[in-house]
Amino acid sequence: MPGLFGSKQYRYVNPSAPIGTQIIQAAGAGFAHKYLKEKFVNIVFFGDGATSSSDFHSGLNFGAVFKTPTIFFCQNNHWAISVPLSKQTGAASLVDKASGYGLPRIQIDGNDILAVYHAVHDAAQRARAGGGPTFIEAITYRAGPHTSSDDPTRFQPKKDLEKWKKLDPITRFEKYLYSKNFLKNGHAKEIRGSFDYEINNLISKAEKYSPPPINTLFSDVYSNLPWHLEEAFGTYPRAMTQMAEDGYVKVIADKATGQLLGVQIIGSDALNLISEIALALEMGATVEDLSFTIHSHLTLPEMIMEAADAALNKAIHQVTLVKVKK
Ligand SMILES: Cc1ncc(C[n+]2csc(CCOP(=O)(O)OP(=O)(O)O)c2C)c(N)n1
Ligand SMILES: [Mg+2]
């Protein structure tokens, strides 16, 4: 998922899409710091929705029992996609949940940048001094959709949104900085402009990256391909394009030379194509030839082309990895 990046250099662990998993990972990493006598403190961020996950309870309990140097930071923005806080918990407030585990806890105005800074700073000091974890509940409001497929206008009361928009933390902090003369007229606008410029530049740079090679689908996950994947994808280079209603095509070719080794076709008009493929094999065609020569608007021939393109790593409907076992 696009938002789940990580950085080894900055000690930023990739979040996982299943809600709550990072909470137990943080408690475990905290335990490791303690065990290895490292001077690190770790902080884990999660939403109000995550407080209903079983990992939330396991993580807080483990952290409290083993006094791990972990900060549990809950961003309570009142919504878990379209589920309101009132349907999320029977507890009067989320910070109460920490009491049951015997954790120091603090509830703060999450739209107050300085309050967030101080709460985290104090929790980090406690953790460094061996005092164990702290639970922080930062209260805010989700003033946008959960994702691009969410439409909060269908469930968020307009009145609430308007009220919270007035408490925008950045505008508030700007006002504070102006009141203290840290910022002078127009300076905030200039800073915002420079951030917009920097971010837009980074976005255009990121958009120029081509997609990762298809085989990283497995090589990024396994150091040794498990037998069932080896069996399915490792024996020959091959590509599949599958559309259940139209048929099935698999192109097998040698990765090093691109030479065509065979094609499997299942489909209602497969017979018409078999002679064409036989001829291509007879002529010692390569997968590249196949990718170029079969042009037709029939579905099955198109699939052959797609499958050949897949073997060349350029298919639109790419399905499998191409790998040779010598
Ligand atoms: C274990 C698990 N269950 C359900 C989901 C589906 N899901 C994705 S986000 C989400 C809500 C999370 O709540 P919160 O972090 O408060 O979300 P936000 O404030 O961004 O709406 C759910 C239930 C999931 N990703 N993982
Ligand atoms: Mg939320």
For the entire predicted model, the pTM comes to 0.71
Q: Which residues contact 318 (CB under 8 A, 6 or more apart)?
A: 214, 239, 309, 310
Q: Which CATH number, 1.10.240.10, 3.10.20.340, 3.40.50.300, 3.40.50.970, labels domain 21-167?
A: 3.40.50.970
Task: Report CA(38)–ligand 1 centroid distance (Å).
Answer: 32
Neighbours of 34 (CB within 10 A): 18
Domain layout of the chain by residue ranges: 21-167, 218-311
Pocket-forming residues, ligand 1, beta carbon under 6 Å: 17-19, 47-50, 53, 77, 79-81, 142, 146
Please give the class, per CATH, of domain 218-311: alpha beta
What confidence tier does 216 reach under pLDDT thresholds 50, 70, 90?
A: confident
Question: Which protein residue has the closest C-alpha to ligand 1 atom 11?
Answer: 80
Share of the chain above pLDDT 70, in %: 78
Please report, as a single letter, which amino acid is at residue 282. Answer: E
pLDDT at 25: 96
The predicted pLDDT at position 245 comes to 46
Beta pairing partners, 47: 75
Determine contact, residues 261/254, Cβ cutoff 8 Å.
Answer: yes
SS3 sequence of 227-264? HHHHHHHHCCCEEEEEECCCEEEEEEECCCCCEEEEEE
For ligand 1, pick from 23, 24, 81, 151 the residue to mutate: most ligand atoms within 8 Å of CB: 81
CA of 26 to the centre of ligand 1 (A): 18
In the sheet that 247-253 helps form, which strands lie side by side, from edge to edge?
238-243, 247-253, 260-267
* pLDDT bracket for residue 224 (50, 70, 90): confident
Instruction: Supply the pLDDT for residue 129.
Output: 95
pLDDT of residue 43: 98
Ligand 1 pocket, mutate which of 146, 147, 151, 161 (most atoms under 8 A from CB): 146
> pLDDT tens digit string along 284-323?
777 777 766 544 434 555 656 666 665 565 544 333 333 3
- Write a three-state SS string for the chain: CCCCCCECCCCECCCCCCCCHHHHHHHHHHHHHHHCCCCCCEEEEEEHHHHHCHHHHHHHHHHHHHCCCEEEEEEECCEECCEEHHHCCCCCCCCHHHHCCCCCEEEEECCCHHHHHHHHHHHHHHHHCCCCCEEEEEECCCCCCCCCCCCHHHCCCHHHHHHHHCCCHHHHHHHHHHHCCCCCCCHHHHHHHHHHHHHHHHHHHHHCCCCCCCCHHHHCCCCCCCHHHHHHHHCCCEEEEEECCCEEEEEEECCCCCEEEEEEEEECCHHHHHHHHHHHHHCCCEHHHHHHHCCCCCHHHHHHHHHHHHHCCCCCCCCCCCCCCC
Residue 44 Cα, ligand 1 centroid: separation in angstroms? 15
Phi then psi dihedrals of residue 50, to 5 deg: -70, -20
Least confident of 50-59, 164-173, 256-265: 256-265
pLDDT computed for residue 296 by the predictor? 41
Ligand nearest, relative to CA of residue 147: 1
- pLDDT at 75 exceeding the cut of 70: yes
Q: Which two tokens stand for residue 214?
A: 């298809």
- Res 99 pLDDT > 70: yes
List, for residues 243-272, the tens digit of each pLDDT value.
444 556 677 777 777 777 777 776 655 666
Q: What is the distance between the alpha carbons of residues 66 and 34, in angstroms, rounded to a whole number?
A: 9
Residue 26 class from Cβ within 10 Å (0-12 exposed, 13-18 middle, 19+ buried)?
A: buried
> How confident is the model at residue 137, as a pLDDT?
98
Report how far ligand 2's centroid is from the alpha carbon of 192 (Å).
26
